[in-house]
Structure 1
């Protein structure tokens, strides 16, 4: 169960109630204004991330190796989209948990990420085998 969906609204109501007890209507206006500002900041960040992602191909990243190094368990999907500046290629069926996305770079390396309830659970890096140096040169 996602407690943030329960705790954050209760916390907002508690802040407004405390503001009412301490300062009356001006306190309620200040607390409500602060809550609305906080919500607008998060909405603006989300829109900016999605606007940047709209200008790139789906499932693309600059470097899969660097993305692999930056990933941490518990990071949300929006944060990964912000890091790659692209939406991931969805490999799992729509609206089914866990969600699996893949980001690929120019060298055909890719990172496959698994998200449970929007949080990163595990990820794997795949790098294609490098061609052998001797095999590329023609024989005499």
Structure 2
């Protein structure tokens, strides 16, 4: 169950009541000013991330190996987009949960990320194999990471 959905609004309401009890009407007005400031900072961050992502091709990342090393379970999609500076290539239908996105680098290595409720659950790094070593075209070595 997602407690953030209920705890954050409940905390805000409690903050309004506590500030009213402590300072009268000046308290809730101050809390409202703080909430507006937080909303503006959050909006600015989203816009900066999206402007940077707009400058790169969809599904491209500088290094899939570095992305694999930086990913952590529980990170939201906006944070992943900020790390890659690119929107991911969607591999699932719109509105389907879990969502699966892919980022590919210049060496054709790619990271496939699975998100449930907008948060990273697991990811997998796939690197193209060397055709001279095993004789097969396009062999891949997969490195998988999941939440423990």
Q: Distance in 2 between matches of 1:29 and 1:131?
A: 66
Q: Distance in 2 between matches of 1:119 and 1:39?
A: 21
Gaps of 5+ in 1: 136-140
Residues 38-64 of structure 1, C-alpha deviation per residue, up to 9 Å, x if partnerless?
121111111111111111100000000
Q: Secondary structure at the match of 1:61?
A: coil
TM-score after normalising by structure 1: 0.91
Q: Find the counterpart in structure 2 of residue 122 from structure 1.
A: 122
Q: Distance in 1 between matches of 2:106 and 2:126?
A: 13
Q: Find the counterpart in structure 1 of residue 27 from structure 2.
A: 27
Aligned length: 134
CA drift of 1:131 comes to 4.2
TM-score after normalising by structure 2: 0.86
Q: Distance in 2 between matches of 1:66 and 1:55?
A: 20
Alignment of 1:1-140 (within 5 A): 1-132=1-132
Q: Distance in 1 between matches of 2:45 and 2:4?
A: 19
Higher-strand-fraction structure = 2
Aligned CA-pair RMSD: 1.4
Q: Distance in 2 between matches of 1:84 and 1:20?
A: 44
Q: Find the counterpart in structure 2 of residue 138 from structure 1.
A: none
Larger radius of gyration: 1
